[in-house]
C-alpha cells in the first residue's frame, strides 16, 4: 500500500508552528497570572487536544494537575458532530472544590463542550473555565463562554496539531486545510 507524505495533502497552512508556539506561551502566561497562588486542574479532551495540552502545561508556571477525558459523539460524520455525546473515558480523580480549566482543541457548534461543561459542573469544582486553541464561531449552535481563546478561524474544516480527518493528520505540526480531493476522494 502506498502511504503518501501527509504534507502533500495540505492545500494551505492556516496557522504555522511559530504562530502556535507564540500563542501557547501567551496563554500560559495569562493563566499563570490569573491563577497565581492557586493550583489549577487542566482537563483535556482526547484525542485532538493532546498536543495543545502538552504544550500549554509547559507554558504554565504555577502548579497544575492534569486529567484526561475522552468523549465521542454518536451519529456524526468525519466532519460533523451530532451533539449526542458519550463518555469513553471519565476523569480519574475528583475535581470537587478545585479550579478546573477545560483545555479544548476546537469549538465548532459547541455541542460537545456544552455537554461536557454541564457534566463537569455537576462534580462541584470551585471554578470552571474554558480554554480553546481554535474557535470557529460561524457554526455555533449553543452559547459557550470562552475564557481563553487562541485563534478565531473561518468556517473551514482544519487538521493538524492534534486535529484529524479519519484519524489521520494529527501529527502535522501546524493547522492546515486539506486539498478538496482528500475529502471527496475524486
The SS3 call for residue 50 is: helix
Residue 108 appears among annotated catalytic residues: yes
CB 128 within 8 A of CB 185: no
In terms of CB distance, is 41 or 109 closer to ligand 5GP? 109
**What does the block give as the cell for 181?**
480531493
Binding segment toward ligand 5GP, per CB under 6 A, in 4-12, 92-100, 120-128, 151-159? 151-159
Q: Smallest distance, Å, CB 90 to ligand 5GP? A: 17
State yes or no: residue 183 binds ligand 5GP (CB under 6 A): no
Which residues 30-59 are close enough to bind ligand 5GP by CB under 6 A?
48
Over the range 11-37, which residues count as b (16 or more CB within 10 Å of their CB) and which as e? eebbbeeeebeebbeebbeebeeebee
Residue 25 bridge partners (DSSP): none
Tell the smallest beta-carbon distance from residue 30 to ligand 5GP (Å): 22
**Is 109 a residue that touches ligand 5GP (CB under 6 A)?**
yes
- Asked if 9 is part of the footprint of ligand 5GP (rule: CB under 6 A), the reply reads no
First to last CA, the chain: 19
> Of the residues 9, 55, 105, 108, which is catalytic?
108
Catalytic site positions: 108
Amino acid at each position: 500500500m502506498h502511504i503518501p507524505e501527509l504534507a502533500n495533502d495540505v492545500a494551505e497552512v492556516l496557522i504555522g508552528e511559530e504562530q502556535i508556539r507564540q500563542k501557547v506561551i501567551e496563554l500560559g502566561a495569562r493563566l499563570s497570572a490569573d491563577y497565581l497562588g492557586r493550583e489549577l486542574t487542566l482537563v483535556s479532551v482526547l484525542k485532538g487536544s493532546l498536543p495543545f495540552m502538552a504544550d500549554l502545561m509547559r507554558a504554565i508556571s504555577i502548579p497544575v494537575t492534569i486529567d484526561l477525558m475522552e468523549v465521542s459523539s454518536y451519529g456524526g460524520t468525519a466532519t460533523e458532530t451530532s451533539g449526542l455525546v458519550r463518555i469513553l473515558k471519565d476523569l480519574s480523580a475528583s475535581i470537587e472544590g478545585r479550579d478546573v480549566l477545560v483545555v479544548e482543541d476546537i469549538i465548532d457548534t459547541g455541542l460537545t463542550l456544552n455537554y461536557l461543561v454541564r457534566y463537569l459542573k455537576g462534580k462541584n469544582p470551585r471554578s470552571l473555565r474554558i480554554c480553546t486553541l481554535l474557535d470557529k464561531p460561524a457554526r455555533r449552535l449553543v452559547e459557550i463562554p470562552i475564557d481563553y481563546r487562541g485563534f478565531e478561524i473561518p468556517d473551514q474544516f482544519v487538521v493538524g496539531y492534534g486535529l484529524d480527518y479519519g484519524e489521520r493528520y494529527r501529527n502535522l505540526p501546524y493547522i492546515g486545510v486539506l486539498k478538496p480531493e482528500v475529502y471527496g476522494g475524486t
